[in-house]
Structure 1
């Protein structure tokens, strides 16, 4: 991006590029992720959430349902 845009003089972009190893863990294979994909995480979270609420549930109902799940996990 720095080269194609001729932005070598832009301090903010240059400093951002210097810390590129922190941009995203998906680009960083130095971290053990056990092969779990973010979609697998969101699917398991959705499964829990669908078990405690319905489309017509209030925010209070969702909170109380989540509180019960957390107590069960502990």
Structure 2
């Protein structure tokens, strides 16, 4: 069993997060989006204080979670 820790997502995590996200899009289990955006698009559409990754001690990203606003504030 691999130990994992949850921490805030950083921009340098994006390649691994995008890979996982695109895999979910391709299987139809992640979103209504057709393709994962670039970092800038992801960054603009998710709340900065509510983005996390689960990673191993050696830095491998196992999963992620992020919150998008439901309506304009």
Q: TM-score, normalised by structure 2?
A: 0.23
The structure with higher relative contact order (CA 8 Å, sep 6+) is 2
Q: Please identify the structure whose Cα radius of gyration is greater.
A: 1
The structure whose residues are more often helix, as a share, is: 1
Q: TM-score, normalised by structure 1?
A: 0.23
The structure whose residues are more often strand, as a share, is: 2
